[in-house]
Amino acid sequence: MAPSTKSNIPDVPPMICDQAKQKYYTTGEFLGKGGFAACYKVTNLSGEIYAAKIVSKQFVKQKNAEKATQLQQEIKIHKSMTHENIVKLFFAFEDNANIYIFLELCNRRSMMELQRRRKAITEPEVRYWTQQVTSACVYIHSLHIIHRDLKLGNLFITDDMVLKVGDFGLATYSLDGKGDKRWLCGTPNYIAPEVLQKKQHSTKVDIWAIGCIVYVLLVGKPPFETSSLDLTYRKITRNEYDIPEELDKEAAALIKRLLAAEPTDRPDAYEILKTPFMQAFTPRRLPVSCLTTKPVFTTIPDAMNAATTQPTQLRCNVLAERTATSETYLAELDQQISEILNKKLVEKPLTDDLLKDPASIPIYWVSKWVDYSLRYAFAYQLCDGSLGASYKDGSKLIMDASKEYCQYRSSKNEEAFFSVLTCPLAYEKKLILLQNFENYMTLNLKKAGSNVLRDGVEIGRLPVLQHWIRTKTTVSFLLSNGTYQCNFNNDHSKVIICPLMGAATLIDSNQTFHTYKLSNLDHSKVIICPLMGAATLIDANQTFHTYKLSNLVANGAPRELTDRLHYTLNYIRKLQEINW
Distance, CA of 517 to CA of 354 (rounded, Å): 9
Distance, CA of 12 to CA of 118 (rounded, Å): 34
How many residues are given for the chain? 580
pLDDT above 70 (res 320): no
Confidence of residue 109 (pLDDT cuts 50, 70, 90): very high
Homologous superfamily assigned to 111-279: Transferase(Phosphotransferase) domain 1 (1.10.510.10)
The rounded mean pLDDT for the chain is 81
Answer for the pair 485, 475: CB distance below 8 angstroms, yes or no.
no
pLDDT above 80 (res 123): yes
Instruction: Answer with the residue of higher pLDDT: 577 or 435.
Output: 435
Q: Within a 13 Å sphere around the CA of 435, how many CA atoms are in the beta-carbon half?
A: 14
What pLDDT, on the 0 to 100 scale, is given for residue 541? 59
Homologous superfamily assigned to 15-103: Phosphorylase Kinase; domain 1 (3.30.200.20)
- Residue limits of CATH 1.10.510.10 in the chain: 111-279
What pLDDT, on the 0 to 100 scale, is given for residue 345? 47
Q: Which of 16-30, 132-146, 235-249, 436-450 has the lowest mean pLDDT?
A: 436-450
Fold exhibited by the domain 294-313+369-462: Arylsulfatase, C-terminal domain (3.30.1120)
The verdict on whether 265 is a catalytic residue reads no
Residue of 11, 18, 149, 160 marked catalytic: 149
- Residue limits of CATH 3.30.200.20 in the chain: 15-103
pTM for this entry: 0.82
What pLDDT digit, counting tens, does each position of 248-268 carry?
A: 999 999 999 999 999 999 999
Q: Per 3-state DSSP, what percentage of the chain is helix, strand, and coil (rounded to 5)?
A: 30, 25, 40
Tell me how far the alpha carbon of residue 514 is from its chain's centroid: 15
Confidence of residue 325 (pLDDT cuts 50, 70, 90): low
Confidence of residue 305 (pLDDT cuts 50, 70, 90): very low
What pLDDT, on the 0 to 100 scale, is given for residue 483? 83
- DSSP characters for 204-227? HHHHHHHHHHHHHHHHSS-TT--S
Q: What angle is formed at CA 321 by the lines to CA 316 and CA 322, rounded to 5 degrees?
A: 80
What pLDDT, on the 0 to 100 scale, is given for residue 476? 86
Percent of the chain with pLDDT strictly greater than 90: 50
Distance, CA of 180 to CA of 195 (rounded, Å): 10
What pLDDT digit, counting tens, does each position of 338-375 carry?
A: 776 776 544 544 445 655 677 777 888 898 999 999 99
What pLDDT digit, counting tens, does each position of 408-461 carry?
A: 999 988 889 999 999 999 999 999 999 999 998 887 654 333 333 444 445 678
What pLDDT, on the 0 to 100 scale, is given for residue 508? 39
Residue 368 identity:
K
Homologous superfamily assigned to 325-364+463-580: POLO box domain (3.30.1120.30)
What pLDDT digit, counting tens, does each position of 373-422 carry?
A: 999 999 999 988 899 999 999 999 999 998 999 999 999 888 899 999 99
Confidence of residue 62 (pLDDT cuts 50, 70, 90): confident
- Residue limits of CATH 3.30.1120.30 in the chain: 294-313+369-462, 325-364+463-580
Q: Whose CA is closest to 127, among 59, 238, 214?
A: 214
Q: What is the mean pLDDT of residues 538-555?
A: 60
CA torsion sign for 574, 546, 133, 239 is negative
Answer for the pair 117, 531: CB distance below 8 angstroms, yes or no.
yes
